[in-house]
Amino acid sequence: MMRSFQHVGGPLRRVLPRAQLTAGTANWIFKRFAFAGRPEKVEQKLNQAKALPTSPARTRFAPSPTGYLHLGSLRTALFNYLLAKATGGQFLLRLEDTDQTRIVSDAEQRLYEDMKWAGLKWDEGPDIGGKFGPYKQSERLPIYRQHVKELLGQDKAYRCFCSPERLDEVKKLAMTAGEDMPGYDGHCSHIPASESEHRAASGEAHCVRFRTHGSGSNFKPLFSDLVYGAYKPPPGSVDDFIIMKRDGFPTYHFANVVDDHLMEITHVIRGAEWLVSTPRHVGLYDAFGWQSPTFAHVGLLTDQNKQKLSKRHGDIDIASYRNKGYLPEGLLNYVVLLGWSPGKGTKGTSEVMGLQEMVEKFHLRFTRGDIRVSNKLDFLNSKHKAKFLAQSPEDLQAQVVPPLSLAISKLEQKRAEPAQLSEEDADKSITATLDQLVPTMASPRSNGDDASNHYNAAYIGKVFELDQKTYANAASYVRRNRYLFWTVPTELYRQTLNDGMQELDYLFLRASESDKTDAKMSAVEITTVFADALRGIPADESSWTKERLEEVLNPLIKSIFAMRSASEASSSAKTEEEPWGFHMLRWFLFALQPGPALIPSMVVLGKEETMNRIRKATDSIACDSSA
């Protein structure tokens, strides 16, 4: 949603090939613009400015509906939200839709949904209105026209009748002459006002440019940024940039400044890619005689290799995080720590903050420079899950079941079509160890096209309850607990039992503590003992309970042992017996894979599936003489 370098307008506009759009490029752009030195006084002033304002701040999030909310833009929105709330001010949403050619049709709707999901409520905005509306730039065109007129009247702006072809030509020539970012050559800056009026009135196509040079201009590009300090573009690097395009729409720079002023915005926190544009904005504020807001440009997000975050490198849109089972507060907590910290040296659990705590701890000391994204998301999400669980477990379940369904559906698709899987797919090895979905997974009300709807939400909810303490995100939860969703392949039973029994001499059943007449038994015989014991419990929910299962199984579990030959490393030459009952049970149920507690799992799986598993496990070894 945030524009990239490609969209820096005016003379700085330089469409870079995608591959070049790296954080390196960002550095290169910043380096071209000398940062003025930092004498102590400046530093002091800056530190004062970083304290929270004492009066309510009005901030805004001003995305262009050209894409969906991503990590970087969510972070910008959050910082602005926090500043407004921390000072008792207002947080506004404004849609910057002046570039009509790049609008993505559902971006506006998705923006509202994603922001609501994240819990960032706005006080004024296109959908709810407010005192300073409209909040959609395309609905404010008369306001921009009137302000352009004002600048034209004061000769602080002028009409430019140059054709796009001429501008291209000028640019090409300048580049051949060695200028890497050539600006406008001022061709139309001397056209007398009367001639300009006349040509415009007779319908000659034109744009309007802001006069940054020569008579009429008092352009002073220096400004002080809260993060980057005193910032000044090198002389000559800002040309007479366009404020109104030939199509009558304002440019981003112009609309942004007019709106921030009229909407009484006091602070602008935005991505550092806008730093280079800010001298123009400040120039416009000066020209109108307005006071500019305080600017804070926060560092760009990069991946671990210091490359600007891209889709390929995890900068997926916010809805994808929701679909992956991240909770809003987990995600907000994650992004707030990208370039900001509640206090020096705060690490680990003290970084875990809900939205209200973030408001309470908020300050304006941001990290300068590129910000490498961290890998704390799972950790933070799981901390917020634990809080949520303690407060309202039902709500938590309602939030995680749809993502779990989706994760199951994705893995199920891969399982059903293994040929489609690439070698690099991390799920390849997992899908190879899955059999059919457990029958209860089929939804009693399967309807619609969404595959995840076909699953039984109540069942998934129960599986979630079984192991919710380990939940960090939907996919990892589904992988870890896969045998509660899928059945176990026969081959895996065979293989895991063989592996598990390799160093065992034999299994036996001890009738009682006092009676040590041990009955040597094969694995098949032991499975039969379990099956017989369980067969007597009726399948209905009020009979197949944890209590009843414990009553029946606990004595049995306690009576099963394995005799292990003393290992060569062991000092005693004697053989050793080991309790083996739980092991057997884990083998029937999950082919020895780690997972939640066994008896509660059996309750969730239900009698039929439990018995099926015992049967399948038995079959897997029935003809295996070693067992």
* Residues known to be catalytic: 311
The span of 61-69, 358-366, 415-423, 588-596 binding ligand GLU (CB under 6 A) equals 61-69
Q: Give CA–CA dist 572/330, Å, rounded.
A: 52
Cβ 116 to ligand GLU shortest distance, Å: 19
Between the alpha carbon of residue 334 and those of residues 237, 380, 381, the distances in Å are 37, 7, 8
Q: Give CA–CA dist 567/501, Å, rounded.
A: 14
Cβ 453 to ligand GLU shortest distance, Å: 35
**Residue 460 phi, psi (nearest 5):** -60, -40
Q: Which of 25, 256, 294, 431 binds ligand GLU (CB under 6 A)?
A: 256
3-state SS, residue 561: strand
Nearest CA-CA partner of 91 in 101, 71, 77: 77
Residue 137 near residue 94 (C-beta atoms within 8 A)? yes
Residue 144 lies near ligand GLU (rule: CB under 6 A): no
Residue number, 171 or 270, with CB nearest to ligand GLU: 270
Residue 618 lies near ligand GLU (rule: CB under 6 A): no
Helix (H) or strand (E) run with residue 109 in it: helix 107-118
Residue 434 lies near ligand GLU (rule: CB under 6 A): no
Kindly identify the residues of this chain, within the stretch 512-541, that bind ligand GLU according to CB under 6 A.
Answer: none
Residue 63 lies near ligand GLU (rule: CB under 6 A): yes
Please, how many CA atoms are within 13 Å of residue 409, restricted to the half-sphere of its CB? 19
The span of 58-66, 118-126, 436-444, 601-609 binding ligand GLU (CB under 6 A) equals 58-66
Cβ 158 to ligand GLU shortest distance, Å: 25
Q: Which of 274, 334, 471, 561 binds ligand GLU (CB under 6 A)?
A: 274
Residue 443 near residue 455 (C-beta atoms within 8 A)? yes
Cβ 27 to ligand GLU shortest distance, Å: 20
Kindly identify the residues of this chain, within the stretch 78-107, that bind ligand GLU according to CB under 6 A.
Answer: 96
Residue number, 278 or 559, with CB nearest to ligand GLU: 278
Residue number, 98 or 302, with CB nearest to ligand GLU: 98
The span of 24-32, 56-64, 498-506, 557-565 binding ligand GLU (CB under 6 A) equals 56-64
For 197-214, the DSSP string reads HHHHHTT---EEEE--SS
Residue 272 near residue 3 (C-beta atoms within 8 A)? no
Contact flags string 3-22 toward ligand GLU, x per CB under 6 A = x-------------------
Cβ 350 to ligand GLU shortest distance, Å: 30
Residue 412 lies near ligand GLU (rule: CB under 6 A): no
Kindly identify the residues of this chain, within the stretch 348-407, that bind ligand GLU according to CB under 6 A.
Answer: none
For 312-334, the DSSP string reads GGT---HHHHHHTT--HHHHHHH
Residue number, 256 or 496, with CB nearest to ligand GLU: 256
Residue 62 lies near ligand GLU (rule: CB under 6 A): yes
Chain-centre distance for alpha carbon 39: 39
CB count within 10 Å of CB 538 equals 11
Residue 270 lies near ligand GLU (rule: CB under 6 A): yes
Residue 210 near residue 240 (C-beta atoms within 8 A)? yes
Residue number, 96 or 239, with CB nearest to ligand GLU: 96
Residues 6+ apart with CB under 8 A from 366: 79, 226, 227, 296, 298, 299, 339, 340
Residue number, 233 or 596, with CB nearest to ligand GLU: 233
Cβ 137 to ligand GLU shortest distance, Å: 9
Residue 111 near residue 260 (C-beta atoms within 8 A)? no
Residue 475 near residue 325 (C-beta atoms within 8 A)? yes
Q: Give CA–CA dist 211/498, Å, rounded.
A: 83
The span of 60-68, 200-208, 351-359, 398-406 binding ligand GLU (CB under 6 A) equals 60-68
Q: Which of 25, 64, 381, 397 binds ligand GLU (CB under 6 A)?
A: 64
Tell me which residues touch ligand GLU (CB under 6 A): 1-3, 62-64, 96, 256, 270, 274
